[in-house]
Amino acid sequence: MTARPSVLMVFTGGTISMRVVPGRGAMPARGGREILDAVPKVADLAAVTFEDFDRLPGPHWTPARMMDLAAHLDDRLGEAGFAGAVVTHGTDTIEETAYLLDLVLAAEVPVVLTGAMKTADDPEWDGPANLLDAVRAVVRLTGQGGSVGVMMGGTLHPARSVRKAHTQAFTAFTSGARQDGARERILSRRIEERVDLVTASVGADARFLRHAVATGARGIVVEALGRGNVPPAMLEGVREAVAAGVPVVIASRCGDGATAPQYGYDGGGVTLQAAGAIFAGDLTPAKARIKLMVLLGTGADDAALRSRFPR
């Protein structure tokens, strides 16, 4: 009889662990043991070692706590015997944590994040099916090196391209048409959290860019329009931020496609590039922010930042 692979299962909270409290709404309630007991078929696939790391709703995560999770996973997966890991997580920020792990984990085994769109007391609770699928994915990927993905609704999405595209559907997650090449690694245990995300919209000006610089931002990601363009009144704010030594990265609010300097009008990508902005390629704004945080945490200078975007 073939031995079952050993899988580390780390519970961090999210909707998969919640129940509805009358008068309050969905709240964290279940620990890892209760959730795992609801999925007995997991034992047929793998020998599971489970741990309760936290009980965080998705919006309660911080970049520093994400880095704590990365350190914990590397420490545990560095021990002999684990074929990979499954991590439960709140779906609101699962794509950011998955991408951070994809960047910084040194472990050469698969790590799959999953969660649920329905609470544990809902008749349509999707947590058990997602958890079972995540374990299957780890077992299937065993021996193929390190990778990080998100398993939701029966589909395994690469960490770099996954995004939540619907607020509540079981098929909320997509990988879109964003490209996933060789895994990029930035092996670091430090992160610079003071990176602001500024959104471009019709008629927007430079106020929020200036505010970010004035209040100590160490980096700024602009959620730009289309191919990577902003209203003309934002352009001077980009110039001022770069002149102050604050890197500005241009990502797009579009669901798919990449940013690049194409348009030459004021606020167009060509003028943003001339102002010193860096283009994020096909990274979403949220993931461009994570990458900039990690790079700044390594002490990367302007030249080093430019060499890592877009990739």
**Does residue 15 have an active-site annotation?**
yes
Same domain assignment for residues 295 and 211: yes
In this structure, are residues 220 and 198 in contact, taking their beta carbons and an 8 Å threshold?
yes
The verdict on residue 48 lying in a domain is yes
140 and 266 both lie in a single domain? no
Same domain flag for 152 and 227: no
The radius of gyration computed from the CA coordinates of the chain, to the nearest angstrom, equals: 20
Q: Are residues 236 and 144 in the same domain?
A: no
* Cα–Cα distances in angstroms (integers) from residue 180 to residues 99, 107, 113, 175, 281, in the given order: 12, 19, 17, 9, 12
Query: 3-state DSSP call for residue 36?
Result: helix
Catalytic annotation, pick one of 15, 88, 93, 271: 15
pLDDT in the model for residue 180:
59
pLDDT tens digits for 140-169? 999 898 999 999 999 999 999 999 999 999
145 and 270 share one domain: no
Phi, psi torsion values for 201, nearest 5 degrees: -150, 170
Look up the CATH number of the domain holding residue 245. 3.40.50.40
For 72-116, how does the pLDDT look when each residue is reduced to its tens digit (9 = 90+)?
999 999 887 899 999 999 999 999 999 999 999 999 999 999 999
Q: Are 89 and 113 in contact (CB under 8 A)?
A: yes
**pLDDT at residue 1 is higher than 60:** no
- Is position 127 within any domain? yes
Q: Which pLDDT belongs to residue 3?
A: 79
Give the tokens for residue 107.
């472990």
Domain annotation covers residue 39: yes
Please indicate, yes or no, if residue 148 is contained in any of the structural domains: yes
Q: Hey, what are 273's tokens?
A: 């590039």
Q: Does residue 179 form part of some domain?
A: no
Domain that holds residue 156: 6-174
Asked if 283 and 221 sit in the same domain, the reply is: yes
| Residue 168 shares a structural domain with residue 200 | no
**Residues 38 and 153 placed together within one structural domain of the fold:** yes
Strand 25-28 and strand 47-52: the pairing is unpaired
Task: Give the pLDDT confidence score for residue 177 in this predicted structure.
Answer: 55
Helix locations, the chain, DSSP H: 32-37, 42-45, 63-77, 94-104, 127-141, 207-214, 232-243, 269-274, 285-297, 302-308
Residue 186 placed within a domain: no
User: pLDDT above 90 covers what percent of the chain?
Assistant: 91
Q: Which of 75-89, 175-189, 248-262 has the lowest mean pLDDT?
A: 175-189
Q: Is residue 183 part of a domain?
A: no
The count of structural domains within the chain is: 2
Q: Is the pLDDT of residue 290 over 60?
A: yes
Return the DSSP state at 226. Answer: T
Token look-up 């993905």 returns 149
